[in-house]
Structure formats: structure tokens, C-alpha cells
A = this chain, B = another copy of it.
């Protein structure tokens, strides 16, 4: 540390000698210098030229693939696109992909929010670097397939003083990967009072509400019934998301609430309401196991159909009233109003209809992948489930297809007509996994409910679940953070700061 010592000696100041100076020896620049900033746009020079945008790619420029959406399908596609052939433009209201299978873990702090969010620039670096590739924080509001143009509108997320502005993007190839929306089945009050579990901000809202309710229930004067209501967490929907969230909640209660909210620990309960069976896509034996384990962890499994949702209670179809403090809704997904409004051929359930090559057959250069698309009836194929692995596989397939088309010279608009598309997309199910809390999980490696195959439950499954997802996390940064989060949750417990 000799270098440090000598540096310190060098810098010892005799301030008293400096103090004598009256004038400031190093004045800041005067106001004159900042006159350069006075470039506030006046009324004559508009801030934004409305309906400008990216015009068609010129001869000699790379053809442009426009990707709508930044979920599993769109991101896997962008990752696979050959950016020496194409410019990539992504339009999405969020600048990151959510690693959805781990989202439930973030609601109670097992994982941090940022550990499951992957910026698009990290998935496809060309977006940040190439002069012709862009990410636009916007939503698509219209598609003109004749002119090969999408109309977009900026999303400013409530930031005051910024009116959304519109612009157009010409595409050579368009990929619609807009995903789906949580279904409410038209039940009153769901959108207003329940929280979905599809985006990072949903998980943040759940975490804040849970911690708020834990603290409110401790305030003097709160009645016993109100304490029970505040701390009653109700999950509607017994699919993997609902079950995983219930499992995480019960882990949080067992491990953290008992220690850190000891005054109210006996009031907190989790109820999972499902109209049919929980985890219906899994093996019967695994479902039995999950039911037993969840019940053992204190999760109340209830069969029921929700009829109405009020601010502090929900009503089942037999009239039973269930007061709640936190309501999480995860009953499946359906197409968004925008997808429904598109004048394109549709598949079962209102999804965009695609052929065996995932293209929209009636128009040129338009493809659709992920939860917003489905095979047309004419293909004779079944609609694929709304799963991350379907979306990811489609994204990968389409990236390869577009790369092949591009190499064959079919990249520019209207130039792919005579190109052989090659192999069709075939989906092979790799199996399902779900964690149920207490270091237990289910792994079902059968290709369908009817097939034979490996299915297992318990700690080994949990170990496989964690390992599998850790390797699937896209970037090394997030892989590292997921591992670190798991380790610190094990050692220190979950963080309960309400920030």
C-alpha cells in the first residue's frame, strides 16, 4: 500500500494558506455560456412532425423486419434474425422481455424484478448499434397490408406534458407477436379489483399490496374480521401460474411472515379457487401430489366459479361471499381487442390464422407467432396452447425461415412469392413443469396427456425445475442474479422493504 500512502501524503492540504484568498479561484461559467440551451421549440418549429416515420427501405439498404411485441415469440425471433441480412425494428410498449416462468417468484421477493426482465438490446444488440435497427416504445394501432405500413403511437405511461404522437413504419416483412390478454370472462369487477400476473408491474403491485396489508392489519383498532380480510390472499385459477404463486405465497408465510410479522401471523391465509381441477394439463398422479402438498402448506383449495368481484369481496355462483385483501387473477388468456379488430383471417378463439409456415396466407409478407396466432382450420392442425415453449419454438423457426428467404433474395417487400419456404413448423411438446413451494415441484415430460413418459414430483423435480430455468434465463447477467437471489433468499430470507 506504499502507493496509496505516497498519494495521500502528496495531497495533504494546508487549507489555512488558501483561506486567505478573497476571490474565488475557480469560478463557474457565467450565464452567457448557457444561452446555447435556449433552443426551446417555438410554435413555428413543431416538436414532432406528425405521421412521419421510417419510409420503405431504399435499394441497397437492408430489408426491414418489423416485429410487433417483445414477448417470448418476438424476442426469440429477433435473437435469431441475421442482422447482416435484415434491419430489425421492434415496436412494443415495454423495452424488455419478461421471463414469465419466474415472475411468480418475484411477487414475494424470492427473486428480484430485474432478475426476470431482459432488455431487448441485450437479446438483439443490433437494435442498439445498427443505424437501421430500432426499438420504439410504442404500440401498433393499425396495419395497412397493401401499403406494407404499420401505424404506431408512442406510449408515455402517464408522463405528464407528453401527448402520444403517431408515426408510420414501412416493413418488408412484418411479424405480429403481440401475445394475448388475461381473460376475465366478462365477470364484473375483475379488471378493477384483481391483479393479473403477466407483467413485472403486476408483480410489483402484488408485492406492495401484500406488504401494505401485512402492516395495516397490525394497526391498533382493526377488528378481527378486518384483519382476516386484509390478510386473505385469494388466487383465482389453478393453472401453473396460480399454483406457483400460491406455493410461493405459502413459502413466504412459513418462512418470513412468521418471523417478521409475528403479531399477525395467524391471520394470513391463502385460498386457491378453481372451477375445475388444478393443473389440469398434468398427469393425475402429479395433480394428486400437488393437491396434497399445497394443502399441507396451508393453501386452501376450493372448487368454485366466481360470479362477481367487489372491492373487498368476491361472490361465487352459489352466493358465497369471500372477503379478500389481495386478489390475483390467472384464469387463462385470450386475444386482445387489437388482434380481434384486425382484418385478417382468424383461427379458433379469434387468434390470427396462420398456415403451416406461420404466415398469414391472404396477404404478402405478414407472419404471426406466439399466443396471438393459431393454425387456420384449413391446415387441419390443432390450436397450440398459449405456452412460452410454443412461442419460443415459433420464434426460432421463423427466424430461420426469414434468414433463408433473405439469403435467397426474398427479403424486400413482395419478393418472397416465388421462394420455396421449405420445412413446415412442427411443434413437439417437451413437457411441463410447475413448482408448488417447500422445495417441491412437478415435472411432466410426456408429450401429451395420453402419452406414456416420465413424470416426477418432489425435491428432485424442484431441483430440475430450478436448474432448467436457470439455464433458460437468457443473459449471463440475469442468470447470475437469479442464482444470487435464490442464495440470499435461502440465507437471509426475503426482503420486506416496501419500495
Contacts and interface: CB of A to CB of B under 8 A. Distances in A.
Interface of A: 4, 7-8, 11-16, 18-19, 21, 24-31, 33-35, 37-41, 45-54, 94-96, 112-114, 117-119, 121, 128-129, 131, 134-138, 154, 156-157, 159-162, 165, 167, 169, 200-201, 204, 208-209, 211-212, 215-216, 218-223, 225-226, 228-229, 232, 259-263, 271, 274, 277-278, 283-288, 291, 300-304, 311-313, 316, 318, 320-323, 446, 449-458, 460, 463, 475-477, 480-481, 484, 488, 491-492, 495-499
B497 A114 contact: yes
A496 B121 contact: yes
A302 B29 contact: yes
Given A28-B291, A41-B223, A134-B218, A271 B47 contact: no
A452 B16 contact: yes
Contacts of A54: 220
Given A28-B303, A229-B40, A495-B477, A161 B119 contact: no
A306 B41 CA distance: 20
A182 to B, nearest CB: 19
Sorted from nearest, which 3 A-B pairs have the closest CB atoms? A52-B221, A96-B497, A28-B303
A13 B26 CA distance: 80
Tell me what chain A mostly uses at the interface: helix, strand, loop, or mixed: mixed
Contact of A320 (B31, B53, B215, B223): B31
Contacts of A49: 221, 223
Contacts of A278: 28
Given A33-B302, A228-B39, A303-B27, A137 B216 contact: yes
A442 B215 CA distance: 41
A380 to B, nearest CB: 25
A37 B137 contact: no
A322 B495 contact: no
Contacts of A117: 495, 497, 499
13 contacts: A7-B456, A8-B454, A13-B453, A31-B318, A48-B221, A48-B223, A53-B221, A95-B497, A131-B263, A137-B498, A156-B216, A475-B492, A477-B492
B303 A40 contact: no
Contacts of A301: 28-29
A127 to B, nearest CB: 9
Nearest to A273: B34
Given A8-B456, A8-B460, A31-B302, A137 B201 contact: no
Contact of A484 (B95, B259, B484): B484
A36 B259 CA distance: 27
A39 B216 contact: no
Nearest to A96: B497
Contact of A95 (B35, B112, B454, B498): B498
Given A38-B321, A165-B221, A228-B39, A15 B455 contact: yes
